[in-house]
Amino acid sequence: MFHETLDSFPKDFLWGAASAAYQIEGAFDADGKGPSIWDEFTKIPEKTFEGTNGDVAIDHYHRYKEDVKLMAGMGLKAYRFSVSWSRILPEGEGEVNEAGLQFYEDLVDELIKNGVEPVLTLYHWDLPLALQEKYNGWESRETIRAFKQYCELLFERLGKKVTYWVTFNEQNVFTSMGYRWESHPPNVSDTKRLFEANHIINLANAEAINLFKEMVPEGKIGPSFGYGPVYPLTSDPSDVLAAENAHDFNNAWWLDIYCKGKYPVTTFNQLKRMGIAPTVLPEDEELLKSAKPDFLGINYYHGGTVKQNKLENPTENEETNKQFSSTDPYLMQPKDEQSQSPEVPMFQSAENPYLEKTDWGWEIDPVGFRVALRQVFARYDLPLFVTENGLGALDELTEEEEIHDDYRIQYLENHISEMKKAISDGVDMIGYCAWSFTDLLSWLNGYKKRYGFVYVNRTETDEKDMRRIPKKSFYWYKELIENNGQNI
Ligand code: BG6
């Protein structure tokens, strides 16, 4: 499709930036907070880069006013953050920690006072450790009950102040990393358990949405999904079929549940043959169908390329599997031994010869962003909110106290330009949150891999003074917001 002129961004478009509790707050045991599964997991030797953890992170818990002031200075329209469940319910359920609730209410008040729309994520991966220990976390329906108590507390307290709510952040990523690649808690490699836990989370998502509709009828709620379009390596119909399989397996497996309340039948049948399909009770189907999100949050970093699974070439398979394991959560590959089975020749990951990569090996694909937005909007017909998109890079602080992150500006500009084309194509968009506002702790890559508009002066081993220094991209984004992206 071609455009002679592009549509403008909607006038109330939410230009924002995002973060997540464990990656910024620190204060891991302050004011009655209980431990989360990440507090424990990051202490296991070799799991994170140089043993980094979020005990202190960038100390946002104590510096949130300073951070919000910077947001206001930038003219940010929206700020997406997550709530740490165990700050509010130290045991995951039961007794409430008022100090935790107060912290988030203060943060929300501060944002509103400064003209920044809060976008609240209920779950960005830091499950209360008590629930993991008591119930096996997301493997038990007891955790749904606890999640409902947690949601109810937040809906009650903040429902009148916060319009946009995200249920789960990247369910595809945290379940795969946690139950398959052993690179997130609960540190398991078992696909049967993966799909059972994932199903329970689907039910929790549906329960949260239904409760929200009752308690916050004026608000908007939806999940944030880590979406990547899947390209066939060639026009060989077998590669095209492999891309269909991969799309079903990596994307529709979650999005169909969120939006249609049912699993895509092809993948479900494959998993059934492999003996790893989730247990779906009749009442589950009813619940899943009843819950309708108001929008879909899309986190976009890149997609993937696949080809027909050549069963006769297991060594190549192993290599690709390794490549897509712990460093790149976005492309899910059928497990080695299963993909060798003649009944399940689903797909095999391939290198895309057209795309450059970041320092961490993630493909850079702005056109794929337009493809992604169009695909999701066409298939599910819901407004989209980009809740993450950004570049992780090695930034350098100069002697003049400046950060010349032109590469980040370039990356964001290219992506925002493709988003503008998607809007002109007709995609209904609420807003765009770049990842991230400040530098923060990368779950597995420490502080070296920086994403922020604001530099935070600390390293893996030295907390230094953690002072905040706006980067060149900060001023670029400020101007873009001022003129509502019209120069893009
Ligand atoms: C997303 C997560 O998957 O990617 C963020 O929602 C995360 O929490 C971001 O930080 C970037 O990942 P990484 O591994 O580069 O820090």
Q: State the average pLDDT over residues 244-249.
A: 95
Q: State the average pLDDT over residues 429-446.
A: 97
Q: State the average pLDDT over residues 411-434.
A: 98
Strand ranges inside 72-217, DSSP E:
78-82, 117-123, 164-169
pLDDT the model gives residue 321? 42
Query: How far is the C-alpha of 176 from the C-alpha of 191, rounded, in Å?
Result: 9
Query: How far is the C-alpha of 288 from the C-alpha of 269, rounded, in Å?
Result: 19
Q: Write down the ipTM of this complex.
A: 0.99
Q: State the average pLDDT over residues 365-372.
A: 98
Q: Please write the tens of the pLDDT for every residue from 62-113.
A: 999 999 999 999 999 999 999 999 999 999 999 999 999 999 999 999 999 9
Confidence band, pLDDT 50/70/90 cuts, at residue 116: very high
Instruction: Give yes or no for residue 358 CB within 6 A of ligand 1.
Output: no
Lookup result for tokens 């779906």 = 280
Higher pLDDT, 340 or 154: 154
Instruction: Give yes or no for residue 443 CB within 6 A of ligand 1.
Output: yes
pLDDT the model gives residue 333? 52
Cβ atoms of 77 and 116 closer than 8 Å: yes
Whether 22 has a pLDDT exceeding 80, the answer reads yes
pLDDT the model gives residue 1? 53
Instruction: Give yes or no for residue 232 CB within 6 A of ligand 1.
Output: no
Whether 345 has a pLDDT exceeding 70, the answer reads no
> Which of 44-48, 322-326, 467-471 is predicted least confidently?
322-326
Q: Which of 177, 395, 443, 450 to mutate to test the pocket of ligand 1 (most atoms within 8 A of CB)?
A: 443
Percent of the chain with pLDDT over 90: 90
Ligand 1 atom closest to Cα of residue 327 = 14
Chain CA centroid to CA 393, Å: 18
Confidence band, pLDDT 50/70/90 cuts, at residue 339: very low
CATH homologous superfamily for the domain 14-482: Glycosidases (3.20.20.80)
Whether 328 has a pLDDT exceeding 60, the answer reads no
> Which of 130-134, 275-279, 323-327 is predicted least confidently?
323-327
Whether 326 has a pLDDT exceeding 70, the answer reads no
For ligand 1, atom 16: residue with the closest CA:
442
Q: State the average pLDDT over residues 33-45.
A: 97
Q: Please write the tens of the pLDDT for every residue from 267-316.
A: 999 999 999 999 999 999 999 999 999 999 999 999 999 999 876 444 44
Whether 337 has a pLDDT exceeding 80, the answer reads no
Strand ranges inside 164-240, DSSP E:
164-169, 220-226, 230-232
At residue 188's C-alpha, the angle toward residues 49 and 126, to 5°, is 60
Give the active site residue among 170, 196, 207, 418.
170
Distance from the CA of 443 to the center of ligand 1, in angstroms? 7
pLDDT the model gives residue 311? 62
pLDDT the model gives residue 327? 36
End-to-end Cα distance, the chain: 19
Instruction: Give yes or no for residue 444 CB within 6 A of ligand 1.
Output: yes
Whether 424 has a pLDDT exceeding 80, the answer reads yes
Query: How far is the C-alpha of 47 from the C-alpha of 183, rounded, in Å?
Result: 7
Cis peptide before 183 (omega within 30 of 0): no
Instruction: Give yes or no for residue 302 CB within 6 A of ligand 1.
Output: no
Q: State the average pLDDT over residues 136-145.
A: 98
Average confidence score pLDDT of the chain: 93
For ligand 1, atom 10: residue with the closest CA:
442
